[in-house]
Amino acid sequence: LAKTTQPISMDSYEGQEVNITCSHNNIATNDYITWYQQFPSQGPRFIIQGYKTKVTNEVASLFIPADRKSSTLSLPRVSLSDTAVYYCLVGDNPYNQGGKLIFGQGTELSVKP
């Protein structure tokens, strides 16, 4: 099972770009990389998913190097409402044999005015 490592916490200011990196050295060939966002007292919600190179949507960008042993979630011009915990999840296909979807501890992002 691919284990992920993220910084426990990060601070930023409104309007800045925030980059959160996740390490996943033993990622498997079939594994996708997915990021989730969780606000207090709510369930996590999907942000972005990718397999390799770069993926961009209306919320964020995801950068994945060629070796896929890490990934970086990029949040452009954060606002106070982006204060949340961000989880990197690897191994997104539970149909693989033994494929359990295991979350790491996440990164607590605090955006200040």
Torsion of CA 29, 31, 74, 41, to 10 degrees: -160
Our CB check for other proteins shows the closer of 18 and 106 to be: 106
CA 44 vs CA 1, 36, 86, 87, 106: distances in Å: 21, 6, 9, 8, 11
Among candidates 76, 71, 73, which has minimal Cα distance to 90?
A: 71
Position 41 contacts other proteins (CB under 8 A)? yes
Please list the residues that pair with 74 across neighbouring strands: 19, 61
The reply on whether position 54 binds other proteins by CB under 8 A is no
SS3 82: helix
Nearer Cβ to other proteins, position 82 or 91? 91
Count, residues near other proteins per rule CB under 8 A: 26
Applying CB under 8 A, does 32 fall inside the site for other proteins? yes
Residue 45 binding other proteins, by CB under 8 A: yes
Torsion of CA 53, 101, 22, 75, to 10 degrees: 70
Which of 51, 63, 72, 83 is in the footprint of other proteins by CB under 8 A?
51
113 is a contact residue toward other proteins (CB under 8 A)? no
Among positions 70-99, residues that touch other proteins (CB under 8 A) are 85, 87, 89, 92-95
Residue ranges that bind other proteins, judged by CB under 8 A: 30, 32, 34, 36, 41-46, 49, 51, 85, 87, 89, 92-95, 100-106
